[in-house]
Structure 1
Amino acid sequence: MSGTLRCGLIGGNISRTRLPLALDIMCRAEDMSLDFTPIDSEGDDAFDFITTVDMLRQDGWTGVTVTHPHKTEAAYYAGRAMDSGAAHLGASNLLTFGPDLAGWNTDYMGFIAAWHAVFKNRGPGEVAVAGAGGVARAIVPALLRLGARDIAVWDIDPQAATALVKRCGRTVRAVPIEDAAHAIRAATGLVNATAVGMGGHPGTAIDPDLVGPQTWAFDAVYTPTDTAFLTDAASKGLAILTGFDLFRFMALETFRIYTGRTPDRATILPRLEQLRPKE
């Protein structure tokens, strides 16, 4: 590709994203320049994802990264152009435009890489997952690939949890929100795959009184990195995988797909670590 990466991010409440900073670090390492535009859909009732992406393609963008709440829309937009390794997920967080449209899921690839970097060869065991939206469609299949024995999922939209189960098979089961407490207590690991805890959505999706018997916890939120959920889990001795751990490896994969160039992890990961949100 040329010396300029022209891309952006579509999502709600994205003012604190570190993605342009991460991509800029990698562009500079490759003697490239970055032209990045954020598109925040929060509070815009007239926002139309498909029309917006059509305009970006016509305007000559390299592609666009997609976050909450548009990941399932992105997969729908890509359709049969989804990467074969991510077509089963039903969610996309990256669309590339030229010369042909393609949809990707670097959350899926990034989570697996982050898990191995932090937890090494630890198995997930039995997992309780709050949320069944776009990020869960990447995290739950990734946990299955890592060897999870049982995954219980719940969502404020029961149909979303049911749809995720249909995609993932017998190892994954949907539970009503009122039964989530039992799933949490029985779990080896806990996952927050909701937006609760990020800027604009304070609080925690998992009752702190139920946290403690488990061995590990992951929060997909990374702004802030130390969410109320992870802070409580760490104080009770759980091993922690942060949303920022996922973000770093997701960013590496995103840059590789955008540009066709593979960053040197030993060089780039420490630089990306400097972007860890302080709050």
Structure 2
Amino acid sequence: MLTGKAKLAGVIGWPVGHSRSPRLHGAWLERYGIDGAYVPLAVPPGRLEEVVRALALAGFRGANVTIPHKEDAFRACDVVEESARRAGAVNTLVFEDGQIIGGNTDGWGFLENLREQVPGWDVTAGTAVILGAGGAARAIAAALLDAGCPRLVIVNRNTARAEALAAALRQGGAGDGEEAGRIRVAAAPPLAEAALLVNTTPLGMQGQPPLEIDLSPLPDTAVVADIVYVPLDTALLRAARARGLRVVEGLGMLLHQGRPGFQRWFGVLPEVDAALRTHVAADIPREG
């Protein structure tokens, strides 16, 4: 039951009706018996900053930020945490002491999901090949590099966009020259050397064209991850399983990336377990 002292947070997007974050955070609020609410907030482009400052004045603890507002949120913050600086975008806002603080939990959520789904996975095992060069690609690439990934290859149809992402990652790193040597751009995915293949594009998502890729060159020890979670079981993951490869589905990244924000807004670091996955996945199609 909500009271006048309820802690409030939400997710900002345009549109926002597709977001599963209210279902996720609502489940956690109920599980931990917290006097609070997490609501969807539809905010049109160009209105983000004024809405965010109004929410802070209205007593909200913070908010998640989704498409198309992540870069605008970066600019709206009074304080940008290192996670957001490395990712070049903000997906988590915290309102504290009159300031808007921005962070990014996408990369952290990806790694946590990877470690959960592939126990014993070693980030130093070899080359990570990332398909795509958008905001999710940057957050995941930065997290992998910071965790010790020895080599990272960015593959994108728009090579200029991939080169820009590589340059941003090199600039955002340690700056000792070593980072530059760890990152490269390729026109086609070098699958034969990949220890990890990550799809960060919307290809394979419900309503989008399929991701057309031949996985036969991948080593038998490779891991294949897809951040798409609608549908839950993408064609990429099915093809990887058919090859006997270990796979990482995208729903877990959504679940894990929500944990740090929930802790800062509501005071509890929530758990991700099978019951939570089942609850959030209940209204998501299994296959496209």
Bin the TM-score by the shorter chain. Answer: 0.7 to 0.9
Change (3 A) 1:245 1:59: same
TM alignment of 1:103-142, pairs within 5 A: 103-124=102-123, 125-142=126-143
Cα drift, residue 92 of structure 1: 1.8
Q: Counterpart of 2:218 in 1: which secondary structure?
A: coil
Give the Cα–Cα distance (whole angstroms) in 1 for the partners of residues 128 and 38 of structure 2: 40
CA deviations on 1:165-222 (whole Å, 9 max, x unpaired) are 432422542425xx223x2343221111223333443422xx3224552411111222
Aligned twin of 1:227 = 234
Change (3 A) 1:17 1:112: same
Q: Which amino acid aligns with 2:151?
A: D
- How many residue pairs end up in the alignment? 266
Change (3 A) 1:71 1:106: same
Aligned twin of 1:213 = 218
Aligned twin of 2:145 = 144
Aligned twin of 1:27 = 29
Change (3 A) 1:34 1:142: same
Give unpaired runs (5+ residues) of structure 2: 174-178
The reply to whether residue 170 of structure 1 matches residue 180 of structure 2 is yes
Cα drift, residue 24 of structure 1: 0.8
Q: Counterpart of 2:183 in 1: which secondary structure?
A: strand
Q: Counterpart of 2:135 in 1: which secondary structure?
A: coil
Cα drift, residue 47 of structure 1: 4.4
Percent identity, please: 27
The reply to whether residue 160 of structure 1 matches residue 161 of structure 2 is no
CA deviations on 1:72-117 (whole Å, 9 max, x unpaired) are 33223225x1234554332221011233211122222222222222
Aligned twin of 1:269 = 273
Give the Cα–Cα distance (whole angstroms) in 2 for the partners of residues 126 and 249 of structure 1: 24
Q: Which amino acid aligns with 1:241?
A: V
Q: Which has the larger radius of gyration?
A: 2
CA deviations on 1:216-272 (whole Å, 9 max, x unpaired) are 111122222212222222222221111112122112222112222223x3xx52331
CA deviations on 1:25-69 (whole Å, 9 max, x unpaired) are 11112322314024275xxxx544334434433444322211234
Aligned twin of 1:180 = 188
Give the Cα–Cα distance (whole angstroms) in 2 for the partners of residues 66 and 39 of structure 1: 11
Cα RMSD, aligned residues only: 2.7
Q: TM-score, normalised by structure 1?
A: 0.82
Q: Counterpart of 2:273 in 1: which secondary structure?
A: helix
Correspondence for 1:245 among 232, 249, 252: 252
Correspondence for 1:90 among 88, 91, 104: 88
Give unpaired runs (5+ residues) of structure 1: none
Matched-pair contact (CA < 8 Å) for 1:25–1:271: no
Moved more, 156-165 or 27-36: 156-165
Give the Cα–Cα distance (whole angstroms) in 2 for the partners of residues 37 and 15 of structure 1: 7
Q: Counterpart of 1:226 in 2: which secondary structure?
A: coil
Aligned twin of 2:71 = 72
Aligned twin of 1:196 = 203
Change (3 A) 1:232 1:15: farther
Correspondence for 2:17 among 12, 15, 18: 15
